[in-house]
Structure 1
């Protein structure tokens, strides 16, 4: 029985399901997630995955935040969690400033959020 690790990210209408090495699908609830992943794999590979073991892991380990200059401020947005937005006056504070909104929207512990900041023009 194959095992698949699936990273879950909360979004407005449900959950994104990032299946390691396979791709991304979605589910309305976490309870539906294992079956949604099995169905996704079955369609993708053209065979039955009903015996596949699905391990759900909350959130991602690392998040990318874009920083764009807007006057005296830096506008911040998380790539993986687009609803996570903020702003800072000094770019050096961007990563710390974004941990809380990312954690809140993605339903993950704030201490587990690692942020990489990318400056965009």
Structure 2
């Protein structure tokens, strides 16, 4: 059985990046942004596969110290996203209570110090997922493209 995901560790060196493809081999690129295409071509030739028939997961190895810094930054980002989600939930709740108390959308906007558009979003009954994911959180700017097999770990 052939793996559906090939894992790659990209290691920095003087002339670019060494790409260590698990259970396949090693190749190299000058720039990390070219790694996926190079890895796909390498695997396709080595394993006689269609380059689009598998996923590639690339993990850049930037060293222990920088790796710790990256991990800390990612944790801080995740913590901030969770805090924003909690804040959005509280804002939705209080906006609903203000509406029940008879305030208009514009009045709610003034009280909460947000835009009237944001009040509309907060009061929207269909929006329980958290606007953050769509407009400012972890998935912002990411659109899933059918057939796109790229993943950067």
**Normalising TM by the smaller chain, what interval?**
0.3 to 0.5
More helix by share: 2
Task: Specify which structure has the higher proportion of strand.
Answer: 1
- Return the TM-score normalized by structure 1: 0.47
